[in-house]
Structure 1
Amino acid sequence: MSTTQSERLRELLEPLVASQGLDLEEIAVESVGRKRVLRVVVDSDTGADLDRIAEVSRALSARLDESDAMGDAEYTLEVGTPGAERSLSEHRHYVRATGRLVRFQPHEGGELVARILAVDEDGLDLEVPGVKGRKATARRLAFGDIDKARVQVEFNRKDTKDTDNSSTTEEEEA
């Protein structure tokens, strides 16, 4: 039974990443010229700040140095998070994306852009934004109906916490 280098690396590194309170999302080994680059993507329900990334990077580097998983050839270790427009494939990814706008490609074809309102074991409750002054509509999407899903970056999203009337301008105070 042969396993790929990525699978062997996952078996070696996943317990270490988990012990740091993070999930190992992705491992990729790529050749860049004569060097190899090992990219490790980690995340958690609360996110991963630079300090946590640095800690896990040091721990992964030490574990890799102790093993021969990368062989004798030189390589660079890069540890990071999934990024703003992350792809969603696991249940935990959808839970973490609750409240976010997501572009879905259902198996039936086409495309759907909607905000995730709630996630359960079977699927998602979504809010499909209204177009041209129409109200948003609710929709249910089962996990089995999703081919691909990717979080969308929103530059002008109004945070619901900021929409109350508690903020005043200088003119109102005068």
Structure 2
Amino acid sequence: MPGQRQRAGGAGEELEPVVADAVARAGFELEELQVHQAGRKQLVKVIVDGDDGIGLDQVAEVARAVSEALDTREEVLAGAYTLEVTSPGLDRPLTKPRHWRRARLRKVAVRQADAKFLARVGAAADDSVELLVDGQLRRVAYPEIEHAVIEVEFKEPPAAEIAQLTHEEEGSR
């Protein structure tokens, strides 16, 4: 499955290891780095995530760490910059096994070559994910998934679905 991290040319390529290291030291993962010219300044957009998501206080912590790291590499940006640190939105496609692990027990919309369906996410392995579709558990290999995103739910998920997914995981241990 294609990765989410986008590499910008020039400054972005040189900054990526610096930014990724600062983000990792703060305990998170760099999902995407974008560097664009915005008037007289560079706009540096850093999208980060963690195993349990990321809150506003943690975004501020990552922003401080990245800002310090960028300030040590002033020669790469060659001037003023605006830093934007954010988390991926709910509309971010699930493209990596870690995205699927973070979506455990969430409802997702899945598109395959020949089908579209809603499912609830179970155990995610390195090569596939278990999905609960219409009451039936299915193991789906990532390459079979063309597109998948989390569906927003405004009420608690049905207890029976959660029990079915967590019972399967406990039984496989």
| Smaller-chain TM-score bracket | 0.7 to 0.9
State the match for 1:43 in structure 2.
49
State the match for 1:65 in structure 2.
71
Equivalent residue in structure 2 for 1:117, among 118, 122, 138: 122
Equivalent residue in structure 1 for 2:132, among 127, 148, 159: 127
Q: CA deviation at 1:27?
A: 0.8
Q: CA deviation at 1:137?
A: 2.4
1:38-65: CA deviations, max 9, x gaps? Answer: 1101111122222221111011111111
Q: CA deviation at 1:159?
A: 6.2
2:151 counterpart letter in structure 1: Q
1:113-166: CA deviations, max 9, x gaps? Answer: 21111111220111114xxxxxx22222101212222112112343639xxxxx
Q: Which structure's CA Rg is the greater one?
A: 1
**TM-score normalised according to structure 1 size:** 0.76
**TM-score normalised according to structure 2 size:** 0.77
Which segments of 5 or more consecutive residues in structure 1 lack a partner in the other structure? 130-135, 162-174
**1:25-104 correspondence to structure 2 within 5 Å:** 25-67=31-73, 68-72=75-79, 74-104=80-110
Report the Cα distance in structure 2 between the residues aligned to 1:103 and 1:144, rounded to whole angstroms. Answer: 16
Report the Cα distance in structure 1 between the residues aligned to 2:91 and 2:83, rounded to whole angstroms. Answer: 22
Cα distance, 1:158–1:116 mapped onto 2, change above 3 Å: closer
1:70 counterpart letter in structure 2: L
CA contact (8 A) 2:90 2:149 kept: no
Report the Cα distance in structure 1 between the residues aligned to 2:28 and 2:41, rounded to whole angstroms. Answer: 28
CA contact (8 A) 2:119 2:131 kept: yes
Cα distance, 1:16–1:113 mapped onto 2, change above 3 Å: same
More helix by share: 2
Report the Cα distance in structure 1 between the residues aligned to 2:107 and 2:142, rounded to whole angstroms. Answer: 16
Report the Cα distance in structure 2 between the residues aligned to 1:78 and 1:33, rounded to whole angstroms. Answer: 16
SS in 1 for 2:76: coil
- Please state if 1:8 is matched with 2:7: no
1:125 counterpart letter in structure 2: E
Q: Percent identity?
A: 37
1:60-113: CA deviations, max 9, x gaps? Answer: 1111111122222x321011111223221111111111111112222x244232
Report the Cα distance in structure 2 between the residues aligned to 1:77 and 1:109, rounded to whole angstroms. Answer: 42
Report the Cα distance in structure 1 between the residues aligned to 2:57 and 2:103, rounded to whole angstroms. Answer: 23
Which segments of 5 or more consecutive residues in structure 2 lack a partner in the other structure? 1-8, 161-173
Report the Cα distance in structure 2 between the residues aligned to 1:29 and 1:39, rounded to whole angstroms. Answer: 6
